[in-house]
Amino acid sequence: MDNEDVGRTRRGKEALHASVPKEQVPNAPPRRRGRGRGRGRGRREELGGSSSQSQIDIEMPSSQSASGSQPPSVGVVQEGYDGGPSNMSLLPSFGQHIAAKIWNGGGRENTPRVLNNGKRIIDLKSALPPDVAAMGWFWNVIRASGLYPLLETNYGQVDHGLLIAFSLRWHSETSSFHLPVGEMTIALDDISCLLHIPVGGNLLFHESLSIHQGTEYLVNYLGLEFEEIAAETKRLKSAHITYDTLLSIYTSYLTEAKSYANQPGEEDSMEWYRTRCIRAFLLYLVGCTLFSDKAGSSCCVVYLKYFDELTTVNQWSWGATALAFLYNYLGDFTKPSCTSLSGYTCLMQAWIYEHFPDICPRDLDISYTEDRPRATRYMLRQGHAIQQCYRKALDRLEVDDIRRRTSFGFQGG
């Protein structure tokens, strides 16, 4: 077993499962040209290249014959796509997938973006005052919440071309990436091993908040003045608060909590500021990581409800909810009209590093130890400037290029 394959752990313990290909296609049948029932018929261009080794060849029904007409139009129900899905009942929305538009010779009108707020957490951690490290009332609660590892699992930048190339292969119906060797997905075991955050417990359940409800959340959970904070939520036109404002609230409450620490008879005031300081910190932490949305510079305040009782934060399944959150944004990104990928993109980057060691450049942190989140093992290097390079690499992907888990440890890689 190579050194690089040793030590994937879940909170210091060996994990038994991982993201593995759902389907293997070792010997694909010979390529046949087929036709559908749409307005046009023809041969699909490869998503990332034209190499015959880079695709899953799917045998079409014998009743279909070759045709020299155009490919089917986007959105038209098809019996099958040459070189793509053959049973459209499994992928009913494929006609609206960005892959279908690329097939027709199109693409996105604007260059897509990948949002990442990981640098905010890196800057937050590096800017902590020296005396904060000794404040047990603060760090004991943060560690007990189960969310402390999120301070370490971020990258200052992510490889946009790499993440976009993978996202183009996502299908919401199967919640997986469709690769030449089969299907793979980010699993709960990956969350546990890469991030070391809770994946069991109660599922987060909430509905979207109105602007007024969001303002009330900020008043009730953070003790802000209604009129003052209402101006911000109204300006944002949503139940959001900007990262800058949230960071300012955290730092001001931290200062107040420390000022009351040595004042006799001010225990209640001190506890009031401590509680709301921690809530602001935790909202900033999950807002920049697990639940980073398309707003970019702000986060939703609905997660404050889960910080009402600070002693029960670790009882919520943060990992499962974050995974569903990322799945949702991956699904949105496959729509031709979508121009940005959000969710915890640092997690997706770490997952690719873990399972596809040769597809992109990255360095290993020599100070990494097995008790730390697996995502901290990797150090980002500059990748390809354009996604086409990665798309062609994915087209050429073979089974041996994937590092996968079994109960006996890593295989491959």
Q: Tell me what pLDDT residue 85 has.
A: 65
Mean pLDDT value across the chain: 80
Residue 247 has pLDDT above 60, yes or no: yes
Q: Which residue has the higher pLDDT, 16 or 119?
A: 119
pLDDT tens-digit map of 253-282: 999 999 998 888 889 999 999 999 999 999
Dihedral (Cα; 251, 257, 263, 268), 10-degree rounding: 150
Q: Which of 103, 172, 162 is nearest to 333 (CA)?
A: 172
- Count Cβ atoms below 10 Å from residue 332 Cβ, excluding itself: 18
Distance CA 88, CA 90 (A): 5
- Write down the pTM of the prediction: 0.79
Please provide the distance, in angstroms rounded to a whole number, between the alpha carbons at the two ends of the chain. Answer: 10
Write down the residue that tokens 């800057």 correspond to.
123
Which residue type, as a one-letter code, is found at position 63?
A: S
Distance CA 158, CA 275 (A): 33
Residue 375 has pLDDT above 80, yes or no: yes
pLDDT, mean of residues 361-369? 90
Q: Grade residue 94 by pLDDT with cuts at 50, 70 and 90.
A: confident
Three-state DSSP state, 341: strand
Alpha carbon separation from 376 to 241, 278, 349, 366, 398 (Å, rounded): 29, 24, 12, 10, 27
pLDDT tens-digit map of 41-90: 333 333 333 333 333 333 333 333 333 434 444 444 455 556 566 677 77
- Count Cβ atoms below 10 Å from residue 167 Cβ, excluding itself: 23
Strands 404-406 and 9-10, sheet pairing: unpaired
Three-state DSSP state, 300: strand
Q: Looking at mean pLDDT, say which of 69-73, 126-130, 180-184, 249-253 comes out highest.
A: 249-253
